[in-house]
């Protein structure tokens, strides 16, 4: 049975002297890969459900609740979320709680590299990451009602020109899924290998 990483913790017991990474479930695979690759045994990972992205106004309270519950159990807490549609509220909440978080408006930006993403100015592009390529139906197609009303596609995506797949890994199966998503949305397709981008830089310290 495959473990569900979208709501995950490898820190069931108090871990004084260690660092808690409190992350979006959509980043679980990437953070675990970075942790294993770099031998980062000093931190433990806890992920909130990835579907909080469907209701971003709930993210700040969910993050704050875990930080308050965990602040006496760890030497440091780092929040592996960008703004993620919270309109700056998450950053303010983290500042008030005295914890750091990832810079950038969303995961597309920090995977691509915040500076590069800003310079591209791709306002007519729709983005997928490895997670979203894998979970396209569950996190895009069905929540937008396109499985029931495909005629709404042009209303939602008529102003987009292309789908950009920001690939963290070289996985032909995910590449095929992302390309198929572009076909479903009626968009041109571009694959851009980013690796882990600024996520690796943010976690390294």
For residue range 123-182, what is the model confidence (pLDDT) as tens digits? 999 999 999 999 999 999 999 999 999 999 999 999 999 999 999 999 999 999 999 999
Give me the residue label for tokens 């049975």. Answer: 1
User: Range with the lowest mean pLDDT among 4-13, 92-101, 104-113?
Assistant: 4-13
Q: Which two tokens stand for residue 20?
A: 């808690």
Structure tokens, 93: 């909440």
Give the model's confidence band at 15: pLDDT under 50 very low, under 70 low, under 90 confident, else very high.
Answer: low
What pLDDT, on the 0 to 100 scale, is given for residue 22? 97
Domains of the chain: 19-102 (3.40.50), 108-193 (no CATH)
Whether 80 and 31 have beta carbons less than 8 Å apart is answered as: yes
pLDDT score recorded for residue 7 = 53
What pLDDT score was predicted for residue 2? 38
Of 117, 144, 122, 133, nearest to 171 (Cα)? 133
Entry pTM: 0.86
Query: Residues 83-105: what's their mean pLDDT?
Result: 95
pLDDT, one tens digit per residue, over 77-93 is 999 999 999 999 999 99
pLDDT in tens, 144-157: 999 999 999 999 99
3-state helix vs strand vs coil in the chain, percent to 5: 45, 20, 35
């Amino acid at each position: 049975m495959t473990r569900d990483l979208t709501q995950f913790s490898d820190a069931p017991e108090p871990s004084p002297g260690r660092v808690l990474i409190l992350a979006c479930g959509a980043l679980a695979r990437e953070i675990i890969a970075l942790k294993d690759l770099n031998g980062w045994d000093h931190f433990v990972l806890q992920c909130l459900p990835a579907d909080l992205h469907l209701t971003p106004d709930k993210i700040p309270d969910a993050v704050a609740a875990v930080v308050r519950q965990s602040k006496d159990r760890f030497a440091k807490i780092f929040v592996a979320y960008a703004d993620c549609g919270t309109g700056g509220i998450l950053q303010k909440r983290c500042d008030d709680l005295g914890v750091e978080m990832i810079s950038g408006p969303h995961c597309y930006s920090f995977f691509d590299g915040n500076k590069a993403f800003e310079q591209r100015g791709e306002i007519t592009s729709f983005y997928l990451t490895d997670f979203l390529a894998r979970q396209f139906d569950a996190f895009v197609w069905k929540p937008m009602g396109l499985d029931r009303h495909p005629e709404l596609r042009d209303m939602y995506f008529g102003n987009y020109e292309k789908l950009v797949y920001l690939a963290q890994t070289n996985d032909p199966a995910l590449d095929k899924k992302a390309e198929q998503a572009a076909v479903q949305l009626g968009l041109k397709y571009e694959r851009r290998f980013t690796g882990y981008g600024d996520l690796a830089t943010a976690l390294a310290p």
